[in-house]
């Protein structure tokens, strides 16, 4: 075997020689003490081979924060080959050659559509035993994930990256049901939920001074681009599940809830076709004793902006940046925690109940 070349494409190797090649690579590092470090297995599947360079760029740096074994599977749907080819690379922390360096491993598997049936058998011996295994399959429909039951048996958590917009309410609620079906098989998290971290933080800041005021919310209006906005509905699910709202009436995109004290809460989902940016969401919140005071959160070019308005006059607000919007960083954040986010799951469950209005009466 040839020595491993360190580069984003790696060195070609037969499947049976992957482990030996990685071990040889660590031994061949000169002038430094190499430590093959692993805290997790990260399995990434991409069905667009043209995305490979972009995908490698997205995961660059993950090995620094989460050293481990990254297995990137590229599936070519236009290929009928059953053959699975492999490339490997060892990535080490930069630093003095005299220092002990932590290194993580990257394995790239290339398969045609007929080779997919052998994928689980190839992956199983490549996963480092005793470590959590994460699966990220960008662009994969939930139905296809459910169909890969043998693959799901290998992983501890699936990282979803849900679409931001759905064409219809039926499509949206079917998606929610698929999430619930999938979570009975495997632990889940969603990068879309991660993208809403700053939105949730912005809303929470309104109530830092008096947290009890959050229970006095009486109206919440969401405005977003045309279609059904998953980010807007996820935030509605967050409001409703955390504040214990119960659905009393739904008419089109208007929802009437009652809170835990029996107070009425009105929510309206407003589809604004003039807004072209999918991130262009606006949330307006009004409390019981704030008939002339409005709390607003909206997406701007500068970041997520909050405002407290009394009439036409702004009496407070803040600007929050886009620091958590980078996909690679979002992925890295998801790998920080193995347990599921209960708040996310409860938000999904709350939303699913909206499609069954009689269930909560």
In tens, the pLDDT along 332-354 reads 888 888 888 999 999 999 999 99
Cα-based distances in Å from 187 to 41, 124, 176, 214, 273: 15, 19, 15, 30, 36
What pLDDT shows up at residue 99? Answer: 55
Q: How far apart are the first and last CA of the chain?
A: 68
Q: Within 13 Å and on the Cβ side, how many CA atoms surround 225?
A: 13
Angle at 183 between CA 181 and CA 188, to 5 degrees: 140
Identify the architecture of domain 195-360 in CATH: 2-Layer Sandwich (3.30)
What pLDDT shows up at residue 1? Answer: 34
Q: 100 with 27: CB under 8 angstroms?
A: no
Alpha helices for 80-118 (secondary structure H): none
Does the structure show a pLDDT above 60 at 57?
yes
* Domain ranges (residues) in the chain: 11-161, 195-360
DSSP element (H, E) containing 20: helix 18-28
The most confident of 137-141, 279-283, 322-326, 356-360, by mean pLDDT: 279-283
- pLDDT confidence tier of residue 4, bands split at 50, 70 and 90: very low
- pLDDT confidence tier of residue 2, bands split at 50, 70 and 90: very low
Q: Which residues pair with 187 in a beta bridge?
A: 157
**Whole-angstrom distance, CA of residue 188 vs CA of residue 177:** 14
- pLDDT confidence tier of residue 247, bands split at 50, 70 and 90: very high
Tell which residue, 287, 283, 284, has the closest CA to residue 265. Answer: 287
What is the value of pTM for the model shown?
Answer: 0.86
Residues for the chain: how many in total? 361
Does the structure show a pLDDT above 80 at 287?
yes
């Amino acid at each position: 075997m040839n020595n491993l070349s360190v580069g984003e494409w790696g060195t070609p190797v037969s499947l049976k020689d992957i482990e030996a090649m990685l071990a040889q690579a660590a031994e061949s590092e000169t002038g430094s003490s190499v430590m093959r470090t692993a805290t997790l297995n990260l399995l990434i599947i991409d069905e667009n081979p043209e995305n490979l360079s972009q995908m490698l760029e997205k995961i660059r740096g993950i090995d620094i924060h989460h050293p481990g074994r990254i297995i990137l599977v590229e599936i070519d749907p236009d290929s009928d080959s059953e053959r699975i080819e492999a490339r490997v690379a060892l990535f080490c922390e930069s630093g003095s050659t005299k220092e002990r360096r932590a290194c993580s491993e990257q394995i790239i598997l290339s398969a045609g559509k007929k080779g997919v049936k052998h994928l689980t058998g190839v992956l199983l011996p490549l996963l480092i035993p005793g470590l959590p295994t994460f699966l990220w399959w960008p662009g994969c429909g939930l139905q296809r994930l459910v169909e890969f039951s043998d693959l799901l048996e290998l992983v501890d958590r699936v990282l979803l990256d849900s679409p931001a917009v759905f064409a219809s309410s039926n499509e949206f609620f079917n998606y929610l049901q698929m999430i619930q079906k999938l979570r009975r098989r495997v632990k889940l998290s969603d990068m879309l939920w991660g993208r809403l971290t700053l939105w949730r933080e912005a809303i929470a800041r309104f109530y830092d001074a008096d947290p009890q005021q959050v229970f006095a919310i009486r109206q919440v209006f969401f405005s977003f681009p045309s279609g059904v906005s998953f980010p807007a509905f996820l935030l509605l699910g967050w409001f409703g599940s955390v504040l214990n709202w119960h659905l009393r009436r739904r008419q089109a995109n208007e929802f009437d809830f009652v809170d835990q004290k029996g107070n009425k809460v009105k929510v309206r989902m407003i589809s604004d076709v003039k807004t072209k940016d999918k991130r262009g969401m606006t949330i307006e919140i009004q409390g019981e004793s704030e008939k002339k005071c409005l709390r607003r959160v909206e997406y701007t070019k500068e970041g997520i902006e909050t405002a407290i308005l009394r009439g036409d006059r702004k009496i407070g607000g803040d600007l929050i940046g886009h620091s958590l919007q980078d996909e690679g960083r979002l992925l890295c954040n998801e790998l920080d925690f193995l347990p599921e986010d209960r708040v996310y799951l409860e938000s999904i469950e709350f939303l699913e109940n909206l499609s069954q209005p009689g269930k909560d009466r």
